[in-house]
């Protein structure tokens, strides 16, 4: 239109308001002096301002509201006028003398309102006349506002049931008829808007139309407020008529909005009872209409309705709501081949939610929904569209949320098929969701079948998908995922050992396909749950006191250990030797508890081999050696020979560590291998002392090396540590550890600390002081211990 449209619009609006105010001023003057003719004249002039075509609906509304206020006053005047004896019929004619149609009709509606109130004519006749006369306004914006004015002034005067305007001649059907007609006309005007004006302004027009939609929708609201619109009338008259209009208008915006309106304004119960009709309309809508949203909203409403009270559920069954909705969705999808995948999935997702609310007991329904979804998605391959995948996740999450139980979801045979449509990352997300659901609810998965199907669901996490490189995957995300898988494995549990073994075998089968990156995460939980089973068996066999580990028993610790052995081997093959070593030691200990010497020995052998062949990092070696020593110390199952071999090896490894302090510490730790408290046959004081002396030598060497390399002696820490070992064995009663030896060591430490070259080390000082205090304390304790310590001089 103009270069600067909005600014001009403001000007037009201002001019319109000014004109309106001026005329309303004269109108008021006429009203005050009871001058009917002038009142009519000026009100018509005032209303003429509404004839403008220059305002956008938004601004027009502003003008309309001002006129509306004035008309209220005029209406009051008309009422008074009739009370003063002016015939309402004459008045009704008089206002129709106005030459311009728009003011004429506004006045007519205003007088009409008074006319109905006067009850001099049946309300229905007046209403019918008004709604007919309003046809004269064919301009969409002006027509919509006029009719909305009509709707506004008439809504409290409809011959509704129980209303004072109801009578022999006026029934609620007249009221309904009136509103429906006004609705139909308004919708026509509204739809027509889009065709008027140049096509380049289409977008602007759509926006303007959107602003006006509530004027149209208001009629539906009025209908829903009519007391007399009961289910029967709704079913027979209201809905068919409204739908007819919606379908026939063939307008995307209107269809979407009005369908939504219908769903929102009328009671759920009505929807339920008219599902056939309502759903029948959907496939007839324009293909560009966003049906999925509307239909989803319907299902959401119905779901909420079902959830609101258990009493309504039978209604749902009675009308076969599920199958109707399901059919309708099928038809809609068929009718709209262009519907994006996201839309299709949204529909199914809503239907599923509905089913879960209404028929929580009918898993087969839920499965049907998923099946239908699969059918519709088939042939589309992996879905790339972000929105669609999001919807699929929502679809799949719904049953989990509803049942809080993965077991139920596992019963849905189509569940994994739906998951297959997800792309790799989303599939993983979904798998994580499933796992989280299990974790949150603490669901125990207790049969191997279920485990099997569960793994089927989360296989995105279990193994690499074919041909998809995993490189882009974030390291942290990966860890997170695998940790959740690890947690999941812990949730598999069955009291029955046989079943549990089956579960373990299943899990093993699956996780072994996971590739080198996953195994370090997944194997440990498997190991531990296996070991748990071992201990359980052990407990049982002890209580039952029968031949516990007969080879013929299907579930024996031996068998499990074999399994574990193989598993660990796979792990060592994938460059996780440290982990493998740790697991070996765990197994060895478990075997120890089961008194299975060969098995334990085998595991130790493996651990040693791993240490020798695979662990080359010095730090890792230190950790490993301490683990080996610690475990070995606790082993009681070995015979002398085996034990000797193993301890000898361990001591040997210790002495071969790279760094002197590490060597020293490992060696003095080895001393414990020869002194096991509860086993007298494993107390070899001489070798303990040998170890300690060797440690001292190494400490000395370390000191000298430090002196040579840096020019100052290092810390005396190692000596103090060794002193503590001496004291330990001294106290344990090792005859080889003598007071003299301890005394010598203390002196050595003192000398070292006072030497000029010593670097002050506060932690060493503190450690020594504590050690000394301990000796003092033991001395003062008296008794045998005190006596023992007595000779030591501090």
Partner 1 sequence: MNYLLGAFKPACNVLISFNDGKNRKQVPFKKENGQTVTVPLFHSQENIAGKITIEPMQGKKIDHNGIKVELLGQIEMYFDRGNFYDFTSLVRELDVPGEIYERKTYPFEFSTVEMPYETYNGVNVRLRYVLKVTINRGYAGSIIEYQDFVVRNYSPLPQINNSIKMEVGIEDCLHIEFEYNKSKYHLKDVIIGKIYFLLVRIKIKNMDLEIRRRESTGSGTNTHVETETLAKFELMDGAPVRGESIPIRLFLSPYELTPTHHNINNKFSVKYFLNLVLVDEEDRRYFKQQEITMYRLQETS
Which spans of this chain sit near partner 1 (rule: CB under 8 A)?
Answer: 51, 93, 96-97, 99-102, 104, 132-133, 135-140, 142-143, 188, 192, 196
Quote the tokens at residue 380: 């589309």
* Angstrom distance (rounded) from CA 78 to CA 84: 10
For residue 53, the minimal CB distance to partner 1 (Å) is 9
Alpha carbons within 13 A on the beta-carbon side of 297: 14
For residue 136, the minimal CB distance to partner 1 (Å) is 5
Shorter beta-carbon distance to partner 1: residue 132 or 334: 132
* Angstrom distance (rounded) from CA 131 to CA 181: 7
Shorter beta-carbon distance to partner 1: residue 142 or 301: 142
For residue 40, the minimal CB distance to partner 1 (Å) is 11
For residue 1, the minimal CB distance to partner 1 (Å) is 13
* Angstrom distance (rounded) from CA 158 to CA 155: 6
Q: Within its chain, how far is the Cα of 409 from the centroid? A: 16
* Angstrom distance (rounded) from CA 661 to CA 667: 10
For residue 100, the minimal CB distance to partner 1 (Å) is 5
- Contact in structure between 268 and 301 (CB atoms under 8 Å): yes
Q: Is 286 left (phi over 0), alpha (psi -120 to 50) or beta?
A: beta
Shorter beta-carbon distance to partner 1: residue 138 or 547: 138
- Contact in structure between 723 and 749 (CB atoms under 8 Å): yes
Shorter beta-carbon distance to partner 1: residue 51 or 487: 51
For residue 220, the minimal CB distance to partner 1 (Å) is 23
Shorter beta-carbon distance to partner 1: residue 2 or 640: 2
- In this structure, the number of other CB atoms found within 10 A of the CB of residue 7 comes to 10
Q: Nearest-CA neighbor of 399 among 364, 426, 374?
A: 364
Shorter beta-carbon distance to partner 1: residue 103 or 371: 103
Shorter beta-carbon distance to partner 1: residue 193 or 374: 193
For residue 280, the minimal CB distance to partner 1 (Å) is 25
For residue 19, the minimal CB distance to partner 1 (Å) is 18
For residue 89, the minimal CB distance to partner 1 (Å) is 12
* Angstrom distance (rounded) from CA 261 to CA 221: 8
For residue 97, the minimal CB distance to partner 1 (Å) is 5
* Angstrom distance (rounded) from CA 455 to CA 713: 60
- In this structure, the number of other CB atoms found within 10 A of the CB of residue 776 comes to 13
DSSP letter string, 360-377? TT-HHHHHHHHHHHHHHH
Shorter beta-carbon distance to partner 1: residue 97 or 386: 97
Shorter beta-carbon distance to partner 1: residue 97 or 732: 97
- Contact in structure between 325 and 354 (CB atoms under 8 Å): yes
Q: Nearest-CA neighbor of 229 among 267, 182, 272, 184?
A: 267
- Contact in structure between 392 and 418 (CB atoms under 8 Å): yes
- Contact in structure between 234 and 262 (CB atoms under 8 Å): no
* Angstrom distance (rounded) from CA 699 to CA 692: 10
Shorter beta-carbon distance to partner 1: residue 104 or 292: 104
């Amino acid at each position: 239109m103009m270069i600067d449209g909005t600014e001009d619009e403001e000007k037009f609006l201002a001019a319109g308001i000014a004109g309106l105010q001026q005329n309303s001023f004269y109108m008021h003057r006429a009203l005050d002096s009871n001058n009917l003719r002038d009142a009519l004249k000026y009100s018509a002039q005032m209303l003429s301002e509404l004839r403008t075509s220059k305002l956008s609906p938004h601004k027009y509304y502003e003008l309309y509201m001002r006129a509306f206020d004035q008309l209220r006053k005029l209406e009051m005047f008309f009422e008074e006028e009739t009370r003063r004896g002016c015939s309402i019929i004459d008045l009704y004619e008089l206002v129709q003398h106005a030459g311009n149609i728009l003011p004429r009709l506004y006045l007519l509606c205003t007088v009409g309102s008074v006319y109905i109130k006067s009850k001099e004519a049946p309300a229905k006749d007046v209403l019918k006349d008004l709604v007919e006369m309003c046809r004269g306004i064919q301009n969409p914006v002006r027509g919509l506002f006029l009719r909305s004015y009509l709707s506004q002034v008439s809504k409290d005067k409809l011959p509704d049931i129980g209303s004072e305007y109801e009578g022999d001649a006026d029934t609620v059907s007249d009221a309904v008829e009136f509103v429906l007609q006004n609705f139909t006309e308004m919708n026509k005007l509204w739809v027509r808007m889009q065709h008027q004006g140049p096509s380049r302004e289409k977008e602007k027009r759509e926006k303007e139309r959107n602003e006006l939609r509530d004027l149209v929708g208001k009629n539906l609201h009025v209908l829903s407020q009519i007391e007399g619109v009961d289910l029967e009338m709704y079913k027979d008259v209201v809905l068919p008529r409204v739908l007819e209009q919606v379908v026939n208008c063939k307008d995307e915006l209107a269809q979407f909005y009005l369908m939504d309106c219908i769903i929102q304004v009328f009671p759920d119960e009505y929807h339920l009872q008219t599902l056939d009709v309502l759903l029948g309309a959907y496939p007839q809508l324009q293909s560009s209409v966003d049906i999925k949203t509307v239909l989803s909203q319907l299902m959401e409403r119905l779901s909420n309705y079902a959830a609101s009270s258990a009493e309504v559920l039978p209604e749902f069954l009675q009308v076969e709501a599920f199958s109707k909705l399901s059919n309708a969705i099928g038809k809609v999808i068929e009718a709209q081949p262009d519907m994006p995948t996201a839309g299709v999935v949204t529909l199914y997702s809503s239907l599923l939610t509905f089913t879960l609310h209404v028929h929580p007991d009918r898993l087969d329904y839920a499965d049907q929904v998923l099946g239908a979804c699969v059918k519709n998605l088939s042939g589309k391959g992996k879905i790339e569209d972000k929105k669609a995948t999001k919807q699929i996740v929502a679809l799949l999450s719904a049953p989990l949320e509803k049942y809080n139980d993965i077991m139920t979801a596992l019963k849905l045979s189509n569940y994994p098929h739906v998951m297959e449509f997800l792309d790799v990352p989303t599939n993983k997300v979904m798998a994580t969701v499933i796992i989280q659901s299990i974790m949150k609810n603490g669901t125990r998965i207790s049969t191997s079948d279920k485990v099997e199907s569960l793994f089927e669901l989360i296989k995105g996490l279990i193994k690499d998908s074919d041909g998809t490189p995993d490189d882009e995957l974030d390291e942290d995300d990966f860890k997170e995922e695998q940790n959740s898988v690890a947690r999941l494995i812990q949730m598999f549990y069955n009291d029955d050992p046989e079943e549990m073994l089956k579960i373990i075998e299943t899990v093993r089968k699956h996780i072994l396909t996971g590739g080198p990156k996953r195994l370090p995460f997944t194997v440990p939980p498997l190991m531990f749950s296996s070991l748990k089973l071992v201990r359980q068996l052990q407990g049982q066999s002890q209580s039952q006191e029968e031949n516990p580990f007969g080879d013929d028993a299907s579930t024996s610790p031996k068998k499990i250990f074999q399994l574990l052995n193989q598993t660990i081997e796979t792990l060592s093959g994938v460059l996780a030797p440290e982990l493998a070593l740790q697991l070996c030691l765990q197994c060895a200990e478990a075997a120890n508890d089961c008194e299975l010497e060969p098995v334990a020995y085998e595991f130790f052998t493996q651990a040693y081999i791993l240490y020798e062949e695979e662990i080359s990092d010095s730090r890792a070696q230190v950790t490993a050696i301490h683990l080996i020593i610690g475990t070995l110390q606790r082993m009681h199952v070995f015979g002398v020979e085996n034990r000797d071999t193993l301890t000898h090896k361990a001591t040997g490894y210790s002495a071969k560590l790279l760094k002197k302090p590490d060597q020293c510490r490992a060696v003095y730790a080895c001393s414990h291998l020869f002194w096991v408290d509860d086993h007298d046959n494993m107390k070899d004081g001489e070798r303990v002392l040998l170890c300690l002396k060797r440690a001292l030598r190494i400490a000395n060497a370390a000191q000298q090396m430090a002196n040579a390399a840096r020019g100052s002696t290092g810390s005396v820490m190692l000596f103090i540590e060794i002193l503590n070992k001496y004291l330990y064995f001294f106290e344990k009663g090792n005859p080889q550890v003598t007071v003299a030896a301890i005394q010598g060591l203390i002196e050595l430490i003192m000398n070292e600390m006072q030497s000029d070259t010593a670097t002050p080390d506060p932690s060493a000082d503190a450690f020594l002081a504590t050690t000394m205090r301990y000796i003092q304390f033991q001395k003062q304790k008296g008794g045998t211990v005190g006596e023992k310590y007595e000779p030591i001089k501090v």
